[in-house]
Each structure stands twice: as C-alpha cells, then as structure tokens.
Copies of this chain bind each other. A is one copy, B any other.
Amino acid sequence: MSMDFGFDVISAKEYERQRVLYEPLTAAIRNLIDAGIHTDVDEATAREAQAAVEAVTELLAGKRRTVTTTLRHEDTGRPLAWANPAVGLRNAIAPPMVIHHEDDGRAWSDFSLSGAYEGPPGWVHGGICALVLDHILGEAASDGLTKPKFTGTITLRYLRGTPLGPLRAEAYIDRVEGVKTFARGFLRDADGTTVEAEGVFIQPVWARDAG
C-alpha cells in the first residue's frame, strides 16, 4: 500500500468524533437542498429563509479548516474524502455513497438518489450516473483510493433510464497493463443493470517510482 501522498493520519477515535459532529449537519443541509428545489413559499418567506441560511453560513464560516481532503484513517489507510462530491460525509452535494471493498477487489455501494439528482422527469440525470460510476470504478482501480490513479478514459453505456430511489453501483478491476488499470462496473436498480461502464485509470508520473 502506497502511503506517499503526504496525508495526515487520523485516529479511529478522532474519525468517529468528527463523523458524529458533522454527519447530521450535512444531512440537514441535504434536506435543505431538497426543500429549496421544491418550495413554493412567497417572497417574504423566501427572503426570511435566505437570511437564515446566510446567518448559519456565517456561523459555520467563523472557524474554518484549510483542508479536509488529506486525512487518512489509521486502520484502513484510506483517505476520508470528506469533501468529495460522490462520497463526502461533509459534502451535501454527495448522495453520499458509502463504499464497501471486498477482499477480491470489488467495490460496491448501495445508495439512494433523491429528486435533487433528477434529469428527465422521474429519472436520474445521465451525468449523475456518470459521476457515481466514475467514482466507483476509481475506487476499484485505486484499491479504495490508497493508490494514486486518475481517470484516463471512461465509457458509459446507458441501457435504459435509471429511476430515482435505491440503486447499487459496483466495479472491479478487469486487468492491469503497466501504469494502466482497466476497470468495469455497472449501475443497477431492483430490475437489473441500467448503465454499464468501463474505464482506464492511470498511475500519475509522480507516483510511478514509488511502485
């Protein structure tokens, strides 16, 4: 396992403390995003809501940490990726996906997409399918983000519409050729696969000597 990113390691206890601290706050912001999309309040109420949101933002911005993406869990060695727009525990944009890693290298996630991810009425935006598939393929290709890998190419094949609601994303490494890792995966609902993906992930030049 390559640990040469210059990440800080966080203890399991500190991880848990921060998770309990921030997860419900992020969940509350996620609900607010949804309420903002669907609200039909009048102008006075909208302005009142806006002022309240601005006040909370000021409260939270009062103490700010510079970086949240460079912490690693002491047990798993995995980056916490708390700011990540697919999996970030602290990013209300993320569904969030919780990623599971199997011993055979498969990565999978069961998650649910709300109306905030809607493209055509009732269906997940095709680009959101691409986001979650790029992420899960990257997780498989990089052994849970422990090995630096960047997306080289990714191809998505949309077999049918992906409905809003509960979904599974899954990915595995198909083969490795030098600095290129070929990953495959899919997105599916209760009735089967909706989108297939294949991607080539590339080890950056700066990480190649580290092996």
Oligomer copy total:
2
User: Which of A79-87, A101-109, A177-185 contacts the other chain?
Assistant: A79-87
- Residue of B whose beta carbon sits closest to that of A126: B151
**Interface residues in A, total, Cβ within 8 A:** 80
Inter-subunit contact B85/A60 (CB<8 Å) = no
Q: Does A165 sit within 8 A of B, measured CB to CB? A: no
Q: A43 vs B38: C-alpha distance in the bound complex, in angstroms?
A: 30
- Residue of B whose beta carbon sits closest to that of A159: B152
Q: Which of B40, B59, B61, B127 contacts A86 (CB 8 A)?
A: B127
The residues in A between 27 and 73 inclusive whose CB is less than 8 angstroms from any CB of B are 28-29, 31-33, 35-43, 45-46, 48-50, 52-57, 59-65, 67-70
Q: Does A9 sit within 8 A of B, measured CB to CB? A: no
Q: Does A111 sit within 8 A of B, measured CB to CB? A: no
Inter-subunit contact A52/B48 (CB<8 Å) = no
Q: A36 vs B82: C-alpha distance in the bound complex, in angstroms?
A: 11
In the bound complex, residues from chain B placing their C-beta under 8 Å from that of A36 are 22, 25-26, 29, 60, 90-92
Asked whether A127 and B132 contact (CB < 8 A) given A28-B57, A39-B63, the answer is yes
Apart from the given pairs A28-B57, A32-B57, A152-B158, 17 other A-B contacts in the complex at a CB distance below 8 Å: A25-B46, A26-B36, A28-B54, A35-B60, A36-B90, A36-B92, A37-B83, A41-B62, A49-B59, A69-B120, A86-B127, A92-B92, A120-B148, A130-B154, A150-B158, A152-B157, A153-B155
